[in-house]
Chain A
Amino acid sequence: MPQPPRLNAVALISPQNHPILIRTFQKGDELKYHYVAHTSLDVIEERTSGKTKPTECYLGLLYVMDDVAAYGYITPLKVKIVIALALTDSVVRDADVVMIFKALHMAFYEAVSNPFLKLDGVSESTADYSPYQAVGSMKWKRLRQAVDEIHRALCAYAP
């Protein structure tokens, strides 16, 4: 039985490429994972802008850098989810990764369905009605908790 992958960081990015939430589970490596999230956008764009549009949300392994494997996922509403898994020599099954993504997508979906979310997030410009707020803002407290919960569940699963 292969080990479930270790989750190092999660990034949720809005359709406008604004970061919604970047959560790092590695102390001291924040810069690295912010870079990972940011650079992943390039790869996601490559994957999604081709002639053949991906039919699935799951974009697979985006790239490997140093000891991190970045996987991408794009929701039907173009919210991008990037997770950084610790690189292992063993095979990472796509099903495992997709499961993590599904959980994150669901967490985001629930957070964004909160009808009171908009009350906090006052947008100045009328053009941008997106409820996606700046990274790390307090408004995503619930989402952050959910993401932490997913991470904890994965850690508990691993020996």
Chain B
Amino acid sequence: MANQHVLVTYTAAQSFQSSDNWIHFLAALRSLLPLRNLHWKPTSRPNLRTVQELDVSLVPLDSLRDEHTSQVPVTLLEKPLLNLYVLSCEDAETYKTTVKKQIKDWQTSVNQRKNQEWLIIHVVRPDSKNVDRKFFSMKGSVLDKIKGDFNIDKRDRCVQLPWSTGEQSPAVWADLIGKIKDGLLAAFDTAVLAREEEVKRSEGQRHMPGWNFCTYFILKESLASSFEGVNLFEDALQQYNELEATFMNVLGEKNMSWFGNLINPAPKDDSLPLLSPSKKSYRELILANTISIFDLRVYLLARQSMLLNKMQQPIEICRKAILFLSTFGKRLREVEMALPEYFVESWIFSSALSVVDQCDAWASSWPELEGIALARYNAIKGELLELAKSQLDILGVKVGHLPPKPPFLMALQTVSTTPSSPLPERNPSQRISKYEIMLAIGDIEAFYDLYCTISNRAIDAYVKAGRRKFALKLHGCLAALDNHRGRLSNALAIFSSLPAHYAPHMWTSLESFMLSHAIDTHAVLQKPRDREWIHLLLGFLKTYVNEPTSESLISHDINEYVTKLVTALREASEKLDSDLPHLDHPIMALEITKDTRCSQDEDLVYLTVLIHNRLPCDVHVDKIGVVLVGEDTTRLKFTAEFTKLVSGRNYLVLTCPTSSHGTYVHESVEIRIARLHFQWNRKSGGGAGDALTSRKHAIPVHLPRNPESLDVQLCLPPNTALGTTPKLHLTISSGRNDLATASVRLSAPAGVTFDFVNSELHSEGVGEIDTSEDGISIFNVPSNSNVIISVPHSDATRFRAIKIDVSITYKTVRDPALEWTLRTSRIVTVALPIAVNVEDFFRGERQVIPGLDSSVKLRTMFVTRLFSRFTISTTTQQHVRILSARLLSAPDAEQGAKIFGCHPSHSVMTAVPDRPVSYIFCIESDRGPVSDPLNLVISYRLLREEVEALVNKTVENALRQLSQESDVGTKLVQAIIEYLECDASWVELYNTTGELIIPSSLDVGEELEEAFSPVQKILSQPNPPSPSLGPWREMTIPVDVPKMNIVADAWIAIQPPPQTEELPRNQLPSIYAGQALSATVYITASLHWNDPENKRQRYRMRYDVEERTKDWLICGRKRGDFLVQDKSTFSVCLTLIALHHGHIELPKVEVKPLPLDGEEDVPKVLPSSDTHQSHGAETVLVLPRGGRSTFIVSMGTKRV
């Protein structure tokens, strides 16, 4: 339909028409066209419409012929909307006589026409305007006259234009243009109203017999084209949309009698461009009532697209096209039998492509699409292209170019082939006309090329649109095509790369489809089954087990397929040249049960695990290994070999040759199929839900201890000697094993090292050892025996306890091929429980020196004895029992020192934390100092050890009477010890009386009940600590006897004043306070404990009598130097006056050595000395002076 302009007629007054001005006027008026910015306020619609630009054709009125011949409603713009009458008459008389009549005639003719407006333009010369007014003001202007004559209603249809030739100002036209717009719009509005009324009336008659959709269509379309004519595209599109909706309604009511066939296939119908409304004379067909539904709908779509094009909405065009092609294509397929062969496919194919081309062509004239709009446009183009591609799918399957299987079958549609009405026979002479399709049907290569081209175009569009998933789908189709064409390596490459895109979002169905195709292609290619193939296969199995129940996309019997693959997997993995680990594959799930037990006759631990084989078939595995990890990362590996895992649940017993026990958690699992190693680590544990374990938390597994299995103990040796290399006793109990060999490794953290090379076999044990730098090897140990090895180690005194990891690998005589392990750790307390302090006292024997005043018992001491006090205190909170402490001279030392101990009050002493135990020894040496160190040997044990021994013994005795198994005893002892550990309240009572009160309510378990009560009874008896019970530890401490250069003995002898009366012998005369006493200070020095070579030396010493100003007044030389030699006595006289009465200690005499005389520059060495105050414990009784005492007593004063 030609684009029709709005028509405006003009008529000019004859006088004006003949003038030159007329031509100019017309040209000037035309130059103002097209009109801009028309604002239409439609009466039938709520909103204001704005027409940006309106083309107007100015035609002379008489050029229009009356074309009322046709009844077919055409556009409203076919007839003029506005009629203009132009006059230029300035003379009122002329007007009255001639012009008025002319106008009247014109108006009459114009008014007859429906829906048309008219406008009288009065052109005046601009300069004459004002003059006119003045001159004719009385009579009124010509314009006023015209207005008066012709304005019949309110609307002013007369306008004056002050214009002459050469007038350039556009302002003068404003009034006229405004009036023209008003006129046009008013006419258009009435016309539209009228036409809409008609449409409504027609629509209302829809259900009446004889109503014809085509008539209605034409009527409605005329409205649409009217709107289009005034550039109101949205309103125009609205009309078509309403038409379409009505059509659908009519279709739904199946009121199609007035239609021709669904389709009258015409040649080239399938290849004509879809969006061209002029490819057929549709309107004629409609008018003739012979149009087919096919044509009508194509026409509708084409018209809509034209309008959308003008609105620049390509996305909407494509959307409508694709919906139309899909839906109508489906309808066409219902009558496919009547259509030329492949008509539908060809039509959709070519139409889709033509829409894309058409839109691109249209779009090229618009401003560039950007951003989201561009992406959407590309997406919709992709959809169109994919639609075309899917037609090729259908065609290919029909012709036989493509195999009838997915994904090519996806587009094939299930159409009910039983149409309601009998179909006309297919006209064999009709053929499709699309060249590409015809070529493709005939030539398979051309078909493939076309398929690839279209697919790639679609992929391209999708990629531009950012629709990755659509593109992936097409890639999959292309891969399938490659596969079919025999381009297998291409297909394999695509199939292998696609699963990676589906896997992240867990689209296992599609992933598994791609993988299975990759595997199939691989098989057809007969490529070697390498690692890559195994990875593909494992990927497939993963998807299989992850999605076992859902409908699989794989056509063949899935279980059989998987079984075959698993068999192939084994074969392939056998051929691998190296091990292939694979982490966290979900085909197996392993659960560790708590069922662990020990073998009865070997050091084996059995662990039952539940393996869930998720494959539908049995799997032969070479090895299953489960690693358990205990504290201190000791690992145990449980294995089983050559088993068949049936589909579903498998309980397997794994074994581990070990004698370790304790609590473990499982760390990793490995299942080997030939060289393929499936591994699952608990910690890495990726893969939600499908990893090895079904629980997030580690399940602790308790490995029981077998009392008969190999065991190891580490302890301090019973005899400790300080000052020598520390040692540990390693006791290996062979249990039931005849050990052929065993190698032991010890490792202690934090820098303590073991000196394995110097390890020694203890005499109590059996077996042979061989030592090396990093461990000890033990040979030939019979069963039920102990090997005791003392292992020296580096200094560990900074630790209280060290934790030692023990690792033993051993082989038995019975099964020399198998290697057992024992990994455990032991904590050894290396700190000693007791500490020893020593104090030395030098003393001599008293001798009376004869020859002096007999009344004075003059004494002197020659110091030859040394008393040593050893204080043994506990270093921990533990009570320590001490059996004995002996001071021994070294066995090889020269004789000369005699050591006397003292007798302890009890046979067993107990050192508690706040009450140490002291032992005193007296060392007598005739020949001076003792150069060889003595050894202090302490026999001790912890209270705990004693109690344990006591309980052990008691239980043993009790069991012997009951003749029960020793196993019961162990448990009972354990129960009692555990009870004692919990509570320290028994300690005090036990210390005092030796009674151990165990409450009978202690829960020891039923089996122990019988043995418990006698044990409890015996333990509660008083039981004094006895040295014979249990073992004692011995500690040897080397003790040096101190040397002393000078040992002095100071003594103050008081000579009592001469007495008047004779006193009984041996009684000092009374001493009174204030009485002067003469006293003598004796200082006896001995060099006995000095080095023998220094015995002759003379030393200078200084004495100093203590000043005790409250007790004594001392007169005389209270300080002085003197020379000393062995066994010499120095004496000096003093006078003492007691200052008060009472028992008064004598002042102390301090004796200090003075530096030796030596050379000047040699630093002076102070000799060592020790001074004993002989009188230290003596006091002197001083009596108060007798006689008179004066007391002043207050006699009282008279108070006033």
**Cβ-based interface call for B328 (8 A):** yes
Centre residue among B326, B387, B696 by max chain A CB count within 10 A: B326
Q: 1/0 contact trace for A44-88 toward B, CB 8 Å?
A: 001000110000000000011111010000000000000000011
**Cβ-based interface call for B148 (8 A):** no
Docked pose: A118 CA to B696 CA in angstroms: 14
- Do B510 and A38 touch (CB < 8 A)? yes
B99 to chain A, nearest CB (A): 61
Taking CB atoms, residues of chain B closer than 8 Å to A122 are: 689, 694-696
- Do A65 and B506 touch (CB < 8 A)? no
- Do B510 and A35 touch (CB < 8 A)? yes
Docked pose: A64 CA to B321 CA in angstroms: 11
Docked pose: A65 CA to B410 CA in angstroms: 10
> A21-57: which residues lie under 8 A (CB-CB) from chain B?
22, 24, 26, 28-32, 34-35, 38-39, 41-43, 46, 50-51
**Cβ-based interface call for B330 (8 A):** yes
- Do A124 and B689 touch (CB < 8 A)? yes
User: Given A2-B252, A124-B686, A136-B547, A66–B411 Cβ distance below 8 Å?
Assistant: yes
Q: 1/0 contact trace for B991-1031 toward A, CB 8 Å?
A: 00000000000000000000000000000000000000000
> B670-715: which residues lie under 8 A (CB-CB) from chain A?
685-691, 694-696
**Cβ-based interface call for A17 (8 A):** yes
- Do B322 and A64 touch (CB < 8 A)? yes
Instruction: Mark the stretch among A94-102, A109-117, A127-135, A147-155 that contacts chain B.
Output: A127-135
Q: 1/0 contact trace for A1-22 toward B, CB 8 Å?
A: 0100000000000001111001
Docked pose: A26 CA to B413 CA in angstroms: 11
Taking CB atoms, residues of chain B closer than 8 Å to A51 are: 372
User: Given A42-B467, A63-B383, A124-B688, A87–B327 Cβ distance below 8 Å?
Assistant: yes
User: Given A22-B509, A134-B547, A66–B553 Cβ distance below 8 Å?
Assistant: no
Partner pick for B508 among A29, A91, A134, CB 8 A cutoff: A134
- Do A123 and B689 touch (CB < 8 A)? yes
- Do A19 and B469 touch (CB < 8 A)? no
- Do B507 and A89 touch (CB < 8 A)? no
- Do A22 and B550 touch (CB < 8 A)? yes
Taking CB atoms, residues of chain A closer than 8 Å to B372 are: 50-51
Taking CB atoms, residues of chain B closer than 8 Å to A28 are: 409
**Cβ-based interface call for A103 (8 A):** no
- Do B390 and A65 touch (CB < 8 A)? yes
**Cβ-based interface call for B403 (8 A):** no
- Do B696 and A124 touch (CB < 8 A)? yes
Docked pose: A42 CA to B322 CA in angstroms: 18
Docked pose: A138 CA to B372 CA in angstroms: 40
Centre residue among A29, A38, A50 by max chain B CB count within 10 A: A38
Docked pose: A135 CA to B505 CA in angstroms: 11
- Do B469 and A41 touch (CB < 8 A)? yes
A123 to chain B, nearest CB (A): 5
Docked pose: A126 CA to B466 CA in angstroms: 32
Docked pose: A84 CA to B1166 CA in angstroms: 111
- Give the size of the chain B interface in residues (CB under 8 angstroms): 58
Docked pose: A128 CA to B757 CA in angstroms: 57
- Do A34 and B553 touch (CB < 8 A)? yes
Partner pick for A39 among B413, B467, B551, CB 8 A cutoff: B467
Docked pose: A31 CA to B505 CA in angstroms: 17
Taking CB atoms, residues of chain B closer than 8 Å to A35 are: 407, 410, 473, 510
Taking CB atoms, residues of chain B closer than 8 Å to A42 are: 466-470
- Do B506 and A135 touch (CB < 8 A)? yes
- Size class of the A contact interface (CB-based, 8 Å): 35 or more
User: Given A22-B550, A122-B694, A17–B505 Cβ distance below 8 Å?
Assistant: yes
- Do A39 and B473 touch (CB < 8 A)? yes
**Cβ-based interface call for B248 (8 A):** yes
- Do A125 and B505 touch (CB < 8 A)? no
- Do B407 and A125 touch (CB < 8 A)? no
**Cβ-based interface call for B513 (8 A):** yes
Taking CB atoms, residues of chain B closer than 8 Å to A50 are: 372
B370 to chain A, nearest CB (A): 13
Docked pose: A123 CA to B689 CA in angstroms: 5
**Cβ-based interface call for B546 (8 A):** yes
Taking CB atoms, residues of chain A closer than 8 Å to B685 are: 124
Partner pick for A88 among B245, B327, B414, B510, CB 8 A cutoff: B327
Taking CB atoms, residues of chain B closer than 8 Å to A38 are: 469, 472-473, 502, 507, 510
Q: 1/0 contact trace for B328-362 toward A, CB 8 Å?
A: 10110000000000000000000000000000000
Partner pick for B505 among A18, A67, A91, CB 8 A cutoff: A18
B436 to chain A, nearest CB (A): 20
- Do B553 and A134 touch (CB < 8 A)? no
Docked pose: A34 CA to B502 CA in angstroms: 11
Docked pose: A137 CA to B535 CA in angstroms: 24
CB nearest to B394 among chain A residues: A66
CB nearest to A42 among chain B residues: B467
Docked pose: A136 CA to B696 CA in angstroms: 23
Centre residue among B375, B472, B509, B513 by max chain A CB count within 10 A: B509
**Cβ-based interface call for B386 (8 A):** yes
Q: 1/0 contact trace for B482-521 toward A, CB 8 Å?
A: 0000000000000000000010011111100100000000
CB nearest to A133 among chain B residues: B689
> B1114-1150: which residues lie under 8 A (CB-CB) from chain A?
none
Taking CB atoms, residues of chain B closer than 8 Å to A32 are: 406-407, 410
- Do B508 and A135 touch (CB < 8 A)? yes
- Do B327 and A89 touch (CB < 8 A)? yes
- Do A136 and B467 touch (CB < 8 A)? no
Partner pick for B553 among A18, A30, A46, A91, CB 8 A cutoff: A30
B1115 to chain A, nearest CB (A): 95
- Do A18 and B506 touch (CB < 8 A)? yes
**Cβ-based interface call for B881 (8 A):** no
B1030 to chain A, nearest CB (A): 55
Partner pick for B550 among A16, A39, A63, A136, CB 8 A cutoff: A136
CB nearest to B462 among chain A residues: A42
- Do A90 and B252 touch (CB < 8 A)? yes
**Cβ-based interface call for B558 (8 A):** no
Docked pose: A64 CA to B323 CA in angstroms: 7
A76 to chain B, nearest CB (A): 21
User: Given A31-B410, A50-B372, A64-B323, A90–B248 Cβ distance below 8 Å?
Assistant: yes
Partner pick for A65 among B386, B409, B513, CB 8 A cutoff: B386
Taking CB atoms, residues of chain A closer than 8 Å to B696 are: 122, 124, 126
User: Given A19-B507, A46-B376, A90-B251, A66–B470 Cβ distance below 8 Å?
Assistant: no
B466 to chain A, nearest CB (A): 8
**Cβ-based interface call for B379 (8 A):** yes
B891 to chain A, nearest CB (A): 71
Taking CB atoms, residues of chain A closer than 8 Å to B552 are: 30
Partner pick for A136 among B413, B549, B688, CB 8 A cutoff: B549
Taking CB atoms, residues of chain B closer than 8 Å to A41 are: 469
Taking CB atoms, residues of chain B closer than 8 Å to A18 are: 505-507
Q: 1/0 contact trace for B865-888 toward A, CB 8 Å?
A: 000000000000000000000000
Taking CB atoms, residues of chain A closer than 8 Å to B326 are: 64-67, 69, 87
Taking CB atoms, residues of chain A closer than 8 Å to B550 are: 22, 135-137
Centre residue among B387, B467, B502, B686 by max chain A CB count within 10 A: B467
Taking CB atoms, residues of chain A closer than 8 Å to B407 are: 31-32, 35
Centre residue among A121, A124, A126 by max chain B CB count within 10 A: A124
Taking CB atoms, residues of chain A closer than 8 Å to B330 are: 67, 87-89
- Besides A90-B251, A135-B509, 4 other CB < 8 A contacts? A18-B507, A31-B553, A124-B691, A134-B546
A-B contact pairs, 21 of them (CB 8 A): A18-B506, A30-B552, A31-B553, A38-B473, A39-B473, A42-B467, A46-B375, A63-B383, A64-B323, A66-B411, A67-B330, A88-B330, A90-B252, A122-B689, A123-B689, A124-B685, A134-B506, A134-B546, A135-B506, A135-B547, A135-B550
Q: Which 8 A-B pairs have the closest CB atoms?
A: A136-B550, A32-B410, A42-B467, A67-B413, A18-B506, A17-B505, A124-B688, A89-B327
Interface residues of A (CB under 8 A from B): 2, 16-19, 22, 24, 26, 28-32, 34-35, 38-39, 41-43, 46, 50-51, 63-67, 69, 87-91, 121-126, 128, 133-138
